[in-house]
Amino acid sequence: MEQQYVSSAYENQIAYDEGLRKYMLQVYNYMTFALAVSGLVSLGISMSPTAMAVIWGSALKWVVMFLPLVMSFVLIGFFEKMSSFAAKGFLIAFAVAMGASLSIIFAIFTSASIVKVFFISAATFGAASIYGYTTKADLTKFGSFLIMGAIGLCIAGLVNIFLQSSVFAFAISCLGVLIFTGLTAYDTQEIKERYDNTYGEEREKAGVFGALQLYMDFINIFVHLLQLIGDKKE
């Protein structure tokens, strides 16, 4: 009887681990797809002088710059009411909007520098996410601090649009890399724990939301690192 119980528990654990692995892999696949969409949109716009002039040479630049932020607030307000299909559509739309806002980096930084920083960002993100997935430490105690730090960075970044302070920008970028690296670990652990608390349609939607969280973590690590170590064009 005891042997049967042990065998059943072992089989249940294997099934659980396999389900969790598939869930996390799906989250990373969604995130990777969103990054690819953003990259293609950003590169496509940057290769068109007309598109760059229309977007960044007019008041439209403010719409492109702030649209991802506006969409973030929309997501917070309507996510619970979204279906998993709608959430996937929102992820793609958000990736397109973010890609458009990132197109300006191709006009500021060299292509080689962008590629270099992308791979450094990927390594940083990967290490943080692996830590968040494997650690036994409870990272929730850092969550509020990291989220408030991210909000503070957003406000500071908006202020610096008008101040144009290089020292302030440097400080923001340094803190940004640290905060969003920490958020990557925190979000990964939180996404992993959602697997236990959601089922069916809700689990599918939670996976999409998790992908968006990790996507934003990666984008912020990349942008802040680019500001710190990216090589600008002459």
Note the pLDDT tens digit of each residue in 82-138.
888 888 999 999 999 999 999 999 999 999 999 999 999 999 999 999 999 999 888
Closest residue by Cα to residue 121 from 215, 14, 29: 215
Altogether, the residues listed in the chain come to a count of 234
| CA 154 – CA 131 distance, rounded (Å) | 25
Residue 45, pLDDT > 80, answer yes
Residue 151, pLDDT > 60, answer yes
**For helices 49-56 and 60-78, angle between their N-to-C axes, nearest 10 degrees:** 80
Residue 155, pLDDT > 80, answer yes
Q: Above pLDDT 70, what percent of the chain? A: 95
| CA 229 – CA 114 distance, rounded (Å) | 10
Residue 152, pLDDT > 60, answer yes
Residue 2, pLDDT > 70, answer no
Mean pLDDT value of segment 197-216: 88
More confident residue, 2 or 53: 53
- The 3-class SS string of the chain reads CHHHHHHHHHHHHHHHHHHHHHHHHHHHHHHHHHHHHHHHHHHHHHCCHHHHHHHHCCCHHHHHHHHHHHHHHHHHHHHHHCCHHHHHHHHHHHHHHHHHHHCCHHHHECHHHHHHHHHHHHHHHHHHHHHHHHCCCCCHHHHHHHHHHHHHHHHHHHHHHHHCCHHHHHHHHHHHHHHHHHHHHHHHHHHHHHHHHCCHHHHHHHHHHHHHHHHHHHHHHHHHHHHHHCCECC
Question: Which pLDDT score is estimated for 83?
Answer: 87
| CA 119 – CA 145 distance, rounded (Å) | 27
184 near 125, Cβ under 8 Å? yes
More confident residue, 149 or 119: 119
| Across 112-121, 148-157, 178-187, least confident range | 148-157
| CA 56 – CA 103 distance, rounded (Å) | 9
Question: Which pLDDT score is estimated for 214?
Answer: 96
- Distance from the Cα of residue 30 to its chain's centroid: 11
Closest residue by Cα to residue 121 from 223, 41, 233: 223
Half-sphere exposure of 15 (CA within 13 A, CB side): 6
